[in-house]
Amino acid sequence: MENLIALLVAAPLVGAALLLCGGSRLDRAGHWIGSLFAVASFAIGAALFADMLGKSPEHRALHQHLYSWIPVGGFRADVAFQLDQLSMTFVLLITGVGSLIHIYSIGYMAHDDRRRRFFGYLNLFLAAMLLLVLADNYLLLYVGWEGVGLASYLLIGFWQHKPSAATAAKKAFLVNRVGDMGLSIAIMLMFTTFGTFAFGPVLASTGATSQGRLTAIGLLLLLAACGKSAQVPLQSWLGDAMEGPTPVSALIHAATMVTAGVYLITRSGAVFNAAPDAQAAVVAVGAVTLLFGAIVGCAKDDIKKALAGSTMSQIGYMIMAAGLGPIGYAFAIMHLVTHGFFKAGLFLGAGSVMHGMNDEVDMRRYGGLRRYMPVTFVTFGLGYLAIIGFPGLSGFFSKDKIIEAAFAKGGTEGWILGGAALLGAAITAFYMTRVMLMTFFGEKRWDPEEVHPHESPKVMTIPMIVLALGSVFAGALFSVNENFVRWLEPVTSFAHGHSPLSATAVTSATMVVLIIGVGIAWAMYGRRPVPATAPRGSLLTRAARRDLLQDDFNHVVLVRGGEHLTRTLVYLDHSVVDGAVNGTAATMGGLSGRLRQLQSGFVRSYAVQMLGGAAVLVAATLLMRGV
């Protein structure tokens, strides 16, 4: 079976190569080819999953050594894959949601004349993402990590004729670069510390390594995760990334790529378990981001940007859970999977709404759409109920577990984290209800003369229905008998947290904040008509509309700071470095100009010099003898 692992990556890679190199003769079939390879990859993944289920939990991990990539002396880099329960979860999520989104894109991109290229990029993304989660060492993981960054860049800027899309792509690329630098330095540090970067030896030998080294590696991995997963302080690119086509936002910037940071931290769990300081930093980043994203999501009128704020916030939950150690890893991944379902579903729903509304994204120009788009309304609604944690749906199970684990952290820290998670849940309920009410309920705020809202074609609605089913049932399926936790336990290890609050108390508290959040949103957007132009709003609202001033902060601190730094450096270069060099050159030039005068070319002046020299020698000799 292990020989199939490489095929998982190869299938979409072949698809990408075909579509990107095939030229325009593939234009008419490009979308079918791309979807076929995505589905093929999913089929292989499903076969491997069925095989894995048949084995005992300890023997489920598969390895495939493909070839030695860079064997130089003591340095050894292999192209080798590892398929364990954690990777398997990701493989199914990536290829499953990926296939659905490929199919959805057939309809969504139907009128785009560069559709073949779009599918080529999507295939490329799948291949890179699968490489990322299947690699058995950090260096190969880094290849996938860069690959998804490239695919993300290409797809955000897919409509490159729009300057805003081109800029957003560049921004995402640059911000990601900061995180990638963290990962590359972490890998180098691993190599100097452990002499290898294969997962097995590195993670097994954390016990015998100095605390300082591990903390440094942990913090660098966290930096990498912050970049890829849009966590504070590297979060600024995600909102702009919504410039890309909506299927891209659903696949890359909601369900899969942005969760790579959670994968990295969970995979490197042994490092973080042995470095409590790095772990504390992870938890802090997660807690701050879950509130940050939620607040931003409350103020956005652009439906995709509101969902982007929500993504940031939900990934904040996962990162926080991953930072809690063995009591949280499994729940982080569980929330990641359920989030993959409902957030991809929500984005596809948003795309369907935009499809029917002439690409309008401003929710203040929606309203009352439930009558015009019943399927979209129901699937979006189920995704909405799942994300706010409505009892019985996916989000309820996974988010509840994270909140419980946060309280179980213990001490003041536990209360702070649990409180933040609860507050986040309330804000989530608020902003998602707001999106729901502004889009599907209330008065029409669009012009019936110009816009003719209609339901999307079947090729788009069927993936939405499948994802909605996942949003409804996945959580319950995972939680029965602690199925998911026991599935992941051999990889991530698991410890039951001891919460100061009983599970019932946490659940009731979650329900109370959920009702409060929904209630406030209903009072603000359901009972009263929504104004078609945004009111001025409070100071916080205005700040949140500007993404809590993250871009202004970056501009003042990094852009201006960088400019000042470079100007100072240029000045120093001109005055000090050039001054020294040019000064030396000028001095030598002047001196040699003087010396040149001696070389007159007149034989007789040379003769005088020789005579003078001889006279000096004689005089010196006489003087020496005299002494």
Measured from the CB atom, is 448 or 589 closer to other proteins?
A: 589
Three-state SS for 300-367 is CCEHHHHHHHHHHHHHHHHHHHHHCHHHCHHHHHHHHHHHHHHHHHHHHHHHHHHHHCCCCCEHHHCC
Dist. CA 346–CA 309, nearest whole Å: 13
Contact yes or no for 464/345 (Cβ under 8 A):
yes
Site membership for other proteins, residue 594 (CB under 8 A)? no
Measured from the CB atom, is 481 or 597 closer to other proteins?
A: 597
C-alpha closest to that of 184 among 239, 223, 129, 212: 223
Site membership for other proteins, residue 600 (CB under 8 A)? yes
Stretch of 27-35, 352-360, 554-562, 606-614 lying at the interface with other proteins (CB under 8 A)? 606-614
Contact yes or no for 475/395 (Cβ under 8 A):
yes
Exactly one of 450, 596, 625, 626 binds other proteins (CB under 8 A); that residue is 596
Exactly one of 53, 70, 585, 607 binds other proteins (CB under 8 A); that residue is 607
Contact yes or no for 199/264 (Cβ under 8 A):
no
Exactly one of 608, 617, 619, 620 binds other proteins (CB under 8 A); that residue is 608
DSSP bridge pairs for 62? 83
Exactly one of 604, 623, 625, 627 binds other proteins (CB under 8 A); that residue is 604
Cβ of residue 610: shortest distance to other proteins, in angstroms?
Answer: 9
Cβ of residue 150: shortest distance to other proteins, in angstroms?
Answer: 59
Site membership for other proteins, residue 523 (CB under 8 A)? no
Site membership for other proteins, residue 602 (CB under 8 A)? yes
Residue indicated by tokens 């001889």: 614
Dist. CA 471–CA 508, nearest whole Å: 22
Site membership for other proteins, residue 609 (CB under 8 A)? no
Dist. CA 156–CA 143, nearest whole Å: 20
The answer to whether the bond into 233 is cis (omega within 30° of 0) is: yes
Site membership for other proteins, residue 603 (CB under 8 A)? yes
Residue indicated by tokens 């000045």: 571
Site membership for other proteins, residue 575 (CB under 8 A)? no
Stretch of 199-207, 216-224, 239-247, 603-611 lying at the interface with other proteins (CB under 8 A)? 603-611
The DSSP secondary-structure symbol of 231 reads: -
How many binding residues for other proteins (CB under 8 A)?
10
Which 73-92 residues touch other proteins, going by CB under 8 A?
none
**Residues 172-211, mask of contacts with other proteins (x by CB under 8 A):** ----------------------------------------
Exactly one of 569, 611, 617, 620 binds other proteins (CB under 8 A); that residue is 611
Measured from the CB atom, is 3 or 599 closer to other proteins?
A: 599
Burial class (CB in 10 A: 0-12, 13-18, 19+), 576: exposed
Judged by the rule CB under 8 A, the positions of this chain that interact with other proteins are 596, 599-604, 607-608, 611
